[in-house]
Amino acid sequence: MHLKAFAKKSTRSTTLAAAITLVAGSLLTSAANLWAATPITVKFAHVVAENTPKGKAALRFQELMHERLGDKVKVEVYPNSQLFGDDKVLEAMLLGDVQIAAPSLSKFQKYTKQLQIFDLPFLFKDMAAVDRFQQGPVGQKLLTSLERKGLMGLGYIHNGMKHLSAYDPIRVPADAAGKKFRIQTSDVLAAQFEAVDAVPLKKPFSEVFTLLQTRAIDGTENPWTNIYSKKFFEVQPYITETNHGLLDYMVVTSARFWKKLPDEVRTEMKKAMDEAIAYGNQVAREQEEKDRQLIIDSGVTQVISIGEQERALWVEAMRPVWKEFEKEIGADVIQAALDANQP
């Protein structure tokens, strides 16, 4: 090309490039301004009381987000099933009606079978073992097990080990036979109660107190903080300290919502959530014992401890449930959980 013509063409393309840069730049700026002007609303819905590990973690998350991002992001926390119960919350999340939830790990079976691992009775030795498993490679991989369904796991919050409560004293499996127990929406939990000839009934958490009060059910399984904060102990004369299973949570969000967030908001949100989860887990460690003691001190319910021999009867009756669900969960996942029992 002639030198003059080349110079003219290259000036034209430089001007064009500059114009494109200008337009793109101003589009970005206006997107950023729009973001700055329109706060992002994040609804965090859960079903427990505010004075529980999950309730406190949710409030800490709200506080941290406000501290760090001011009015740019508005976190609204809805406790006590005020916005959605766990039966609806994940569908609502996929529709964009709620952005964060932390259902118990027993509530995901419609979305993935692998999380059923957490419901297997007498699997984890204690909460330290649960922690090792959740933080290890298999537990971390399980956080991604909902991705095909459009959900993302952001972390685990502890509550604690479950105990049986009832209208009659329960010491051995035969004492539970024929009794109706409210359970969460989990087939593993149903199988666990059927293994001792009890009758499991899947019911929402928000209905448990009334079901107990009206004696529509005989008992439940719950960790101390739920029994205390929802006053179940006031309508259950006996609690058997079985430590037979786990009630923990997965904090989830919709992948669509998460990916659409501005990068800096997503980064801050993840950081705030990690800190809120760590705080919730510390609360879980401390509050379990406190709430247990408050229940004992109330004098309205009797806490029954079981000895090694009685415990062995429960283990023997419930352990076959593992085999029943091994294929859905994966033998390798079960093995990883068992390995976590060894520090």
Closest C-alpha among 189, 120, 157 to residue 336? 120
Question: Which residue, 159 or 281, has its beta carbon nearer to ligand LMR?
Answer: 159
Measured distance CA(204)–CA(130) in Å, rounded: 25
Q: Beta partners for 101?
A: 45, 252
Kindly state the smallest distance separating residue 190's Cβ from ligand LMR, in Å. 14
Handedness of CA 133, 136, 137, 143 (dihedral sign): positive
Kindly state the smallest distance separating residue 181's Cβ from ligand LMR, in Å. 11
Question: Which residue, 195 or 250, has its beta carbon nearer to ligand LMR?
Answer: 250
Measured distance CA(155)–CA(102) in Å, rounded: 9
The contacts of residue 255 (CB under 8 Å, 6+ apart) are: 147, 150, 151, 152
Q: Tell me the one-letter amino acid at 342.
A: Q
Question: Which residue, 48 or 318, has its beta carbon nearer to ligand LMR?
Answer: 48
Closest C-alpha among 322, 325, 327 to residue 338? 322
Question: Which residue, 211 or 261, has its beta carbon nearer to ligand LMR?
Answer: 211
Kindly state the smallest distance separating residue 143's Cβ from ligand LMR, in Å. 18
Measured distance CA(61)–CA(77) in Å, rounded: 9
Instruction: Summarize as ranges the residues that interact with ligand LMR (CB under 6 A).
Output: 47-48, 86, 104, 159, 184, 205, 226, 247
Kindly state the smallest distance separating residue 187's Cβ from ligand LMR, in Å. 15
Question: Which residue, 226 or 243, has its beta carbon nearer to ligand LMR?
Answer: 226
Phi first, then psi: what are they for 241, rounded to 5°? -80, 85
DSSP string, 171-187: -SHHHHTT-EEEE-S-H
For the record, the structure tokens of 151 come out as 């959900």
Kindly state the smallest distance separating residue 219's Cβ from ligand LMR, in Å. 13
Measured distance CA(167)–CA(134) in Å, rounded: 34
Kindly state the smallest distance separating residue 109's Cβ from ligand LMR, in Å. 13
Question: Which residue, 205 or 238, has its beta carbon nearer to ligand LMR?
Answer: 205
Rounded to the nearest 5 degrees, what angle is found at the Cα of 250, between the Cα atoms of 115 and 45?
Answer: 130
Question: Which residue, 195 or 247, has its beta carbon nearer to ligand LMR?
Answer: 247
Kindly state the smallest distance separating residue 102's Cβ from ligand LMR, in Å. 7
